[in-house]
Amino acid sequence: MNIIDELKEAFKILPGVGNRTAQRFTFYAIKADKESIERLSRLLNEVKEKIHPCKICGNPTTEELCSICSDSDRDHSTVLIVENIEDLYQIETAGKYRGVYHILGGHLAPLENITPEKLRIKELIERVESSKIDEVILALNPNTAGEVTSIYLYDLLKKYKNIKITKPSIGLPYGSTIHYLDNYTIIQGINERKEIKGY
Ligand SMILES: [Zn+2]
């Protein structure tokens, strides 16, 4: 494979990039000025070298703790659980939510071999046991996998009697995911969250 074909194949690892787009990217890279390409390649390298999950919530950061966990103005007793980084960013972009997060790293899918050990559930339990948490918001995606994971987490968390377990009232067709929601729906869903009393 020559270098042009190899670069084209390499671009295809990006989500949503098929043959045609990969080809456009490749020709762009050939034509672009040296500085832009050097910057892109430096940042791609730095992202892999310097970014790691926040020790508390799993949000990518260059520091030990992410900017949300180290913000003393936020309410650290309210923890909103999301499946992925994309969901956290979507909720942060919507604004208004002033608690903190916990990124699970996906949802349970036994058939795909995604078992509880593969998610950041152990870290969640350690967090619940070692810090003062009043409320856990289960903001997993409103689809079957998200629901199965929510039930599993509810069962684990219900023994902590001092913690209120809630769920956003997302007015969304079942089967969707959080990162397709508009800001208004997200803010309203979190503001009007409901306590889960059992599944
Ligand atoms: Zn964090």
105 and 158 within one domain: yes
Question: Cα(62) to centroid of ligand 1, in Å?
Answer: 11
| pLDDT higher than 80, residue 170 | no
Of the chain, the percentage scoring pLDDT greater than 70 comes to 97
Cβ atoms of residues 189 and 168 within 8 Å? yes
**Residues 32 and 83 placed together within one structural domain of the fold:** no
Residue percentage of the chain with pLDDT more than 90? 80
Residue 143 confidence (pLDDT) above 90: no
**Domain total in the chain:** 2
- Number of residues that this document lists for the chain: 199
Pair 104, 46: CB distance under 8 Å: no
Q: Which domain holds residue 183?
A: 73-195
Pick from 183, 66, 193: nearest CA to 139:
193
Secondary-structure breakdown of the chain: helix, strand, coil percentages, each rounded to the nearest 5: 45, 15, 40
* Residue 39 counted as domain residue: yes
Q: Is 173 found in the same domain as 87?
A: yes
The CATH number assigned to the domain holding 153 equals 3.40.1360.10
From the CA of 165, how far away is ligand 1's center (Å)? 20
Note whether residue 167 is domain-resident: yes
Please indicate, yes or no, whether residues 45 and 77 belong to a single structural domain of this protein: no
Q: pLDDT value at position 171?
A: 61
C-beta of residue 79 within 8 angstroms of C-beta of residue 134: no
pLDDT at 182: 85
**Position 90 confidence tier, pLDDT thresholds 50, 70, 90:** very high
Q: What's the CA-to-centroid distance between 61 and ligand 1, angstroms?
A: 8
Interval between CA 55 and ligand 1 midpoint (Å)? 6
Instruction: Kindly give the distance from the C-alpha atom of residue 68 to the centroid of ligand 1, in angstroms, as a whole number.
Output: 6
Instruction: Render pLDDT for 108-129 as a digit per residue (tens, 0 to 9).
Output: 998 888 999 999 999 999 999 9
> 80 pLDDT exceeds 80?
yes
Between the CA of 77 and the centroid of ligand 1 the distance, in Å, is: 13
CATH number at residue 23: 1.10.8.420
